[in-house]
């Protein structure tokens, strides 16, 4: 019975199709995102603490209002659009939760970023300034029930074109991976 319940929960995990790219001209990309979203976007400051886990990624996001979100996600480390499955749980005590997770799992590292969020249809467009790395853009096509991965990928490709994102600017992995690779290099 437990296995059936667990399998059902995995199938119900929300998903999105994501891409991440380096940004060489943040002013141009901001202008295009504002035009496409018909908004000035929303400024968000975040710190994500990543924990050591055997599969996927587990991070605790500290938000500007003092709350937090524990986020688990799995996605392949490839460039271009990729399906990401995730689950999120809110917390009003991110510092306490960070201590418990740190004691239990160990900390992999932390990512601090200033993010501007734009909504374009069913896609979250993030323009990120990541401390220690620079400027990046993420697209997250939030999948609707019954929508295929191919449809999400088509939306991501179209938005990449509209935003002027080139294939050679696409990056693999999470910001945490880039920071850790930078420390090794």
Delimit the domains of the chain by residue range. 15-184
Q: Assign residue 132 a region (left: φ > 0; alpha: ψ between -120 and 50; beta: otherwise).
A: left
Which class does domain 15-184 fall in? mainly beta
pTM: 0.82
Q: For residue 82, what pLDDT is reported?
A: 73
Per-residue pLDDT tens digits for 84-124:
788 999 999 999 999 999 999 999 999 999 999 999 999 99
Per-residue pLDDT tens digits for 165-184:
999 999 988 899 899 987 76
Q: Pairing relation of β-strands 107-120 and 15-22?
A: unpaired
Rounded to a whole number of angstroms, the CA Rg of the chain reads 17
Q: Pairing relation of β-strands 82-91 and 68-74?
A: antiparallel
Per-residue pLDDT tens digits for 17-38:
889 999 999 999 999 999 999 9
**Would the pLDDT of 149 be above 90?**
no
Per-residue pLDDT tens digits for 158-167:
999 999 999 9
From CA 56, how far away is CA 75, in angstroms rounded? 7
DSSP code at position 178: H
From CA 123, how far away is CA 113, in angstroms rounded? 20
């Amino acid at each position: 019975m437990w296995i059936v319940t667990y399998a059902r929960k995995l199938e119900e995990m929300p998903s999105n199709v994501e891409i991440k790219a380096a940004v060489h001209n943040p002013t141009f990309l901001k202008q295009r995102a504002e035009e496409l979203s018909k908004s000035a976007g929303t400024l968000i400051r975040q710190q994500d603490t990543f924990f050591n886990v055997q599969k996927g990624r587990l991070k605790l996001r500290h938000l500007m209002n003092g709350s937090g979100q524990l986020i688990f996600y799995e996605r392949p480390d490839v460039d271009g659009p990729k399906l990401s499955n995730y689950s999120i749980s809110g917390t009003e005590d991110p510092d306490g939760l960070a201590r418990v997770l740190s004691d239990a799992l160990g900390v992999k590292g932390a990512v601090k970023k200033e993010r501007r969020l734009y909504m374009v249809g069913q896609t979250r467009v993030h323009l990120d300034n990541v401390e220690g790395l620079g400027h990046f853009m993420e697209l997250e096509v939030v999948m609707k029930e019954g929508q295929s991965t191919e449809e999400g990928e088509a939306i991501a490709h179209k938005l990449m074109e509209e935003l002027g994102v080139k294939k050679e600017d696409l990056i693999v992995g999470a910001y945490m991976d880039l920071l850790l690779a930078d420390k090794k290099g």
